[in-house]
Amino acid sequence: MKATLRQEARHRLRAWAASPTTVQQATEALCQNLLAHLQNLPPGRITLFGGLKNEPDLWQLLAPALHTCGWQTALFLTQPDGTMTAHPLEHANEAIRSAFQNWEPGPTASQRPPLQPTHILVPALAFCPETGHRLGRGGGYFDRYLARQPAHIRRIGVGFDCQLLPSLPSESHDLPVQEIFTESSHLTLDRG
């Protein structure tokens, strides 16, 4: 079932992202929404993801503004064993493009100890705004990373409006996000 949903979500996202202008405008609006929210919080430590094809490219738009507000930012580095670590970057030029064309820590930043975040920005092929569950790309990288984090860390889903679905299947290991940001909305999913 998840494989079929992934295929459908990829197709929907590819069709929506056919125009680079559409993606750029939506990414800019999404970053503005996210920044407006984060600026009102005490500065913390936040992981950004590197923007694979058809994902919002948060690094170039969001990182400089967050640094100005006092936030410490980190990018993910995938380790040979399939786990991810988040390494802090002090300057924008410490990020490099990986073989997959997403941003990751360059040689200097990747030598720093991993960052323990207060907030984790999480991508997906799809999000369910009712439950906070996400449909990842299928590699389990973010699932494994999130499972290693303390429960109090804020998990924030980041995507586009076209990635919101009314329901998604979930398994016992799936950790929902507590918020979802898109180009037009900010959904808070905390229950209780």
pLDDT in tens, the chain (192 residues): 888 999 999 999 999 999 989 999 999 999 999 999 999 999 999 999 877 778 898 998 999 999 999 999 999 998 889 889 999 999 888 998 887 788 899 999 999 999 999 999 999 999 999 999 999 988 889 999 999 999 999 999 999 999 999 999 998 888 999 999 999 999 999 754
Longest CA pairwise span in the chain (Å): 44
Contact 130, 167 (CB under 8 A): yes
Closest CA to 58 of 90, 22, 104: 104
Q: What pTM, to 2 d.p., does this model score?
A: 0.93
Task: Provide the residue ranges of all domains of the chain, joining segments of one domain with +.
Answer: 2-188
Topology of domain 2-188, per CATH? Rossmann fold (3.40.50)
CA 91 – CA 93 distance, rounded (Å): 5
